[in-house]
Amino acid sequence: MTIKDTHEEWEIRATETPFVGGKTSVRTDDVVMPDGTVARRDYQVHPGSVAVLALDDDGRVLVLRQYRHPVRQKLWEIPAGLLDVPGENPLHAAQRELYEEAHVKAEDWRVLTDVYPTPGGCDEAVRVFLARELSQAEGERFQAEHEETDLELARVPVEELVRGVLAGELHNTCLVVGVLSLVAARQGDGLDALRPAEAPWPARPFEA
């Protein structure tokens, strides 16, 4: 048996969109199950996201602390953001988020991992990049708004983040997945063996 996710689509008898928001919507599908019954499935329709694990020359990860209203917490996260334009190149989106949230640029980019954070209730797909060879971006800083006006930035050693993840002190999906994937990649074939930044992404196809 090959342990690999595969594409599959079950028959949909009916669909409706009871809610449409600014960035996402909610869809209801009547899906035919393997036994022939029809089950109703509600899920959030999401444009997709990118995240950036930015690793500096001292082995520290750039993280930011931001208020997240749905969970009523300030979470430590890695820079991340939505794919605002259908078909947008995810690398370009990641570079934009790193600049806007941290005013940092990177010379070396790799794909760290691709994930579906909550596939039981949302179709969001996230590509997590590894960015290295960091430096301060040029020009004026991006003008933040809403929750982002209260951002706190820090550079934290990888080992400290791993400890926080395993202790249940850090909860953001992209940070958890990114940090643990970084450690696994280091212990495996090394960071230079990661997929190139322009690697295909079937979950959110794009033009290079």
Catalytic residues: 148
Number of helical (H) and strand (E) elements in the chain, helices listed first = 3, 11
The encoded tokens of residue 197 equal 């930044």
Check: CB of residue 205 under 8 Å from CB of residue 127: no
Going from the C-alpha of 79 to that of each of 11, 94, 96, 167, 171, the distances in angstroms are 37, 8, 10, 22, 14
CA angle, 172 then 143 then 80, to 5°: 25
Q: Which residues lie closer than 8 Å to 157 by C-beta, 6 or more apart?
A: 59, 60, 61
d(C-alpha 77, C-alpha 102), whole Å: 12
Q: In b/e form, how buried is each residue of 144-179, taking b as 16+ CB within 10 angstroms?
A: eeeeeeeeeeeebebeebbebbeeeebebbbbbbbb
Orientation angle between helical segments 158-166 and 173-187, nearest 10 degrees: 120
Residue among 155, 190, 152 at smallest CA distance from 74: 152
